[in-house]
Amino acid sequence: MKAVIMAGGKGTRLRPLTQGMPKPMLKLLHRPTLEYIVELLASHGITDIAMTLCYLPETIRNHFGDGNNFGVNIQYLEEQVPLGTAGGVKQMDWFLDDTFVVMSGDGVMDFDLGEAIAAHRQGRALATILLKRVECPKGYGVVEVDDDGRIAKFVEKPRTWIEGISYLINTGVYILEPEVFDFIPQAIAYDFGKDLFPSLLQLGVPLCGFEANGYWSDVGTLQQYYQTQLDMVHGHVKVNLPDELKVADFA
């Protein structure tokens, strides 16, 4: 399989840490965030990777090169004008000729992608969205699924929620069929969560939701940046760390 990593973010909410640095290159325990994503894909045998770049693209290119040092093959697409998540990925349609994975390059997770891909194939959907169950959905897109795992409703970043009830949120990890490009307009800004998936749902196109087990953090704020590194050191995230950075899990 192939994968696309969306790595064009500026990370304005993480300034001054991202001043002059693309968000995916922000370091977590001495390694760029994007390295953990590449490593996760490679660990599942997904080694043909495309990266969509926009902000300071040369920083990412210079670090990863062709991907050989990381055990993968990397192609790049530089967006001169931001086209949104779906619009940017559509420009790689020539590369994505079979079932593929889309991930954000500015988060950390240890999801079992093999399990998610198997569920996608079993569901025979055009798209499968990996979901995470949380108590507070603030700032995230909420997804409702039916008993068969089909997506029934999207709620874009709800302003209110009920304490004591858990919600399924969109993690920004998608498993897609190449036919999805037929529904993405050419050369205009278009997002997966805000535009494409609600449109597909309205058209009656089958969409699946997969509740992923494991750790996930979008590292979107300074507080999350700090907490994510604590979680990594304490062993809450399955990532490769040097021995000197590991401590006993006392949580």
Q: What is the per-residue pLDDT for 164?
A: 63
- Residue 160 belongs to a domain: no
What is the total count of domains within the chain? 1
- Residue 137 belongs to a domain: no
**Structural domain of 125:** 2-129+173-245
Q: What is the per-residue pLDDT for 160?
A: 61
* 236 pLDDT above the threshold of 80: yes
* 138 annotated active-site: no
Mean pLDDT of 40-58: 92
Supply the pTM of this predicted model. Answer: 0.89
Active-site position among 10, 27, 157, 246: 157
N residues, the chain: 251
Q: What is the pLDDT of residues 76-110, one digit of tens each?
A: 998 888 888 999 999 999 999 999 999 998 889 99
Annotate 144-189 with DSSP letters as a single string: EE-TTSBEEEEE-S-S---TT--EEEEEEEEEE-GGGGGGS-SSS-
- Residue 59 belongs to a domain: yes
* 20 pLDDT above the threshold of 90: no
- Residue 185 belongs to a domain: yes
Mean pLDDT of 116-135: 91
Q: How many CA atoms lie within 13 A of 232 on its CB side?
A: 27
Domain holding 241: CATH number?
3.90.550.10
